[in-house]
Structure 1
């Protein structure tokens, strides 16, 4: 069965996020004040797996082996049919 998987990867709390700092500064220059801003990467993919649990497990393996650095990132995996 085909499953749509969304993986969101973000920096852990306390990690420096220079991209977010630059965006927040640019927004302030445009008149948009923000209290906080953080960046994240979003991956959307389609997996062929026997079950939603298997699709989630496969996506987690992808995160652990390539997409995320467990020292500095946390990630979430969402699976939909």
Structure 2
């Protein structure tokens, strides 16, 4: 089994009012050293054994492109951990 961790964030050109609100709140709380906040989505996918690395990469990219990320507004990246899913 493999555990795939998918991270989805807005592209730099997209306004993210929720992240701006968190950043403003941090500033009001006295955390002036925080310059920027990114807010996004996180997914964990547990995948059964049996696929090659290339096939798994292709499947995860397809899932992200079709469902998890809006390619007009968001970027994504993922990590595949084949040992963590076995725990």
TM-score range, shorter chain: 0.7 to 0.9
Quick check: 1:11–1:72 contact (8 Å CA) kept in 2? Answer: yes
Residue of structure 2 equivalent to 1:52: 53
Q: Determine if the alignment matches structure 1 residue 32 to structure 2 residue 25.
A: no
Whether the 8 Å CA contact 1:3–1:52 is kept in 2: the answer is no
| Equivalent pairs, count | 80
1:3/1:53 CA distance change after superposition, 3 Å: farther
The 2-side partners of 1:52 and 1:19 are apart by 36
- 1:24-51 CA distance string (max 9 Å, x none): 1111111112211111211111111422
> Secondary structure, in 3 states, of the residue corresponding to 1:75?
strand
Could you tell me how far apart the structure 2 residues matched to 1:24 and 1:38 are? 9
Q: CA RMSD in A?
A: 1.3
Match of 2:85 in 1: none
Higher fraction of strand:
1
What runs of 5+ residues in structure 1 fail to find an aligned partner?
A: none
What is the rounded CA distance, in whole Å, between the counterparts of 1:50 and 1:21 in structure 2? 41
Q: Which moved more, 1:26-35 or 1:52-61?
A: 52-61
**1:52, CA displacement in angstroms?**
2.9
**What are structure 2's unaligned runs of at least 5 residues?**
83-87
Normalized against structure 2, the TM-score is what? 0.82
